[in-house]
Amino acid sequence: MVGFLSWWDGVELWLSGLGFVVQTAVVMPVVLVLAYGLAVLMDAALGEGIRVLQRVRRDGDGGTR
């Protein structure tokens, strides 16, 4: 863990030494990829949750549908 934190401190120092426009150009692709990945995971989890709720509702109807 100490090695990772040391590396992260180095990255922060390097990034803070860059100009604002360069910082933005470096950070935005990383943030966008992380946000996209999180959105895909949340979409899949929500879709699965909806499928489970529909299955439970269908099974709880007593076969009337």
Give the model confidence (pLDDT) of 4-47 as tens digits.
999 999 999 999 999 999 999 999 999 999 999 999 999 999 99
H or E element at residue 57: helix 20-60
Determine contact, residues 24/16, Cβ cutoff 8 Å: no
pLDDT for residue 65 is more than 70: no
Confidence (pLDDT) at 64: 56
pLDDT for residue 63 is more than 60: no
> For residue 61, what pLDDT band results from cuts at 50, 70 and 90?
confident
Confidence (pLDDT) at 18: 93
Between CA 10 and CA 6 the distance in angstroms is 6
Q: What's the predicted TM-score (pTM) here?
A: 0.65
